[in-house]
Amino acid sequence: MKLADRIAQCRAPFVVTCGPTGGTRILNNAAECAHAVSGAPIRFVLSDELTRLCTALAYSKGSRTLACADLIRIPAQAVWIEWFCRPWQDELSLHAISVDDPAYSPSHRRGAFDPAHGAADIIRRCFRFHYEASWREYYRDADLDPDQRGALWRHALGTIALDVPVLLAFFLLLSTRAGLPQSPRSFERLNRSRLKAGKAPLLAHVDVRAPLLPDYRAQDSGETAYGRRGPRLHHVRGHLVRRGAELFWRVPHLRGDARLGAVRTRTVTWTFGGH
């Protein structure tokens, strides 16, 4: 079951007990987001390949997605996006970012509900953490010293900070002239059976895949015109290059080989209409 369905079907409140007073309080949780997620006009589910690509773009060298914010267009005023943890974690590890918290199990899904009107709203939320009044009251009543409060804030911010650049990269790819391969998924027949069985209907969504990338081009290198040996086999990290309304993605690749005789490179060009 998709994460969006789990949230849309969540009805259990999040009840916590305050240690010093013994009183209980209801905090906002997934149940508070059920209506918003089920009412989103567009719900995207990213393939593993696209998740890796968006993460690589988000944390590549060269131009960053933040520098391309003027090219980003959000397809609706409210959008839900979800993806598997494993490819996201695997790609982050290639950029020396370790996510080993038990909350990020590789089999779990991550998701984000974005009610933004544009990329600027996403960027602003990268630097501003919003929390409900019920959480603020709980922090005030809980028996926490300043270090514990600080640790809670850092943990809360850490759960979303790594996602924002990935979301920007996804919307950037979605805004390219060619767009991304999409497959709408509807469950009308299945939902009729589920309703008859007393089960909640599943939400329609759009599966989004990575664009087809060109094959590697092998080039003979050998010695240069100056008699110097070609490069040894080494890995070149992927990076973005922006020139006007075009983005060039230098996909991570191997340059040279064990015999110093080959250079392999691959470049993907994305263009944006109307800019």
Q: What gap in Å lies between CA 46 and CA 3, rounded to an integer?
A: 12
* Whether residue 148 is found in the same domain as residue 175: yes
* Whether residue 143 is found in the same domain as residue 223: no
Q: What gap in Å lies between CA 131 and CA 124, rounded to an integer?
A: 15
For the cut 60, the answer to whether the pLDDT of residue 261 exceeds it is no
Q: Across residues 31-44, what is the average pLDDT? A: 92
Q: Which of 118, 28, 43, 125 is nearest to 83 (CA)?
A: 43
By residue range, what is the domain housing residue 53?
A: 37-208
Which residues share a beta bridge with 26?
Answer: 15
Q: Burial code of 129-148, b = ≥16 C-beta within 10 A, e = fewer?
A: eeeeeebeebeeebeeeeee
> What are 103-148's pLDDT values in tens digits?
667 778 999 888 765 555 655 554 444 445 555 555 555 566 677 6
**Which one is predicted more confidently, 102 or 23?**
23
> What percent of the chain stands above pLDDT 90?
27
What is the reported pLDDT for 77? 84
3-class DSSP state of 95: coil
* Whether residue 181 is found in the same domain as residue 45: yes
Q: Is residue 124 part of a domain?
A: yes
CA 7 to the chain's CA centroid? 18
Q: Across residues 13-39, what is the average pLDDT? A: 82
Model-level pTM?
0.73
* Whether residue 200 is found in the same domain as residue 70: yes
Count of domains observed in the chain: 2
Q: What integer best gives the mean pLDDT of the chain?
A: 76
* Whether residue 145 is found in the same domain as residue 101: yes
Most confidently modeled range among 56-60, 183-187, 237-241: 183-187
Q: What gap in Å lies between CA 157 and CA 184, rounded to an integer?
A: 33
Cβ count within 10 A of residue 79? 21
